[in-house]
Amino acid sequence: MSLCYNGFMAGYHIRKIQKGVFGESSKIQEELSELIDAELQGCRIMALMEASDLYGALEAWAIENGTNMVEIRIMSHITKRAFESGERE
């Protein structure tokens, strides 16, 4: 089996993924790209690992920006409520 995939040496991922900076939104993008790549490979275990890494990247971003996952969860629930009710006001 070839180690070269999509024009580069493949390791865990089969697509080239731009590295991000921990605590910045670029790390969230990196982890999301890795999650999508894991799904494309059909590897549920890797996808779960990448989802965990995505959570950690989001948590670090929140802390870096003076908030936390509790505040993000509160807003997420409010958004869900608005979508489910169909009301935005």
Nearest to 47 by CA among 35, 59, 55, 29: 35
Q: What is the pTM of this model?
A: 0.83
The rounded distance, in Å, linking the Cα atoms of 7 and 25 is: 27
28 confidence band (pLDDT: 50, 70, 90) = very high
- pLDDT at position 65 is 98
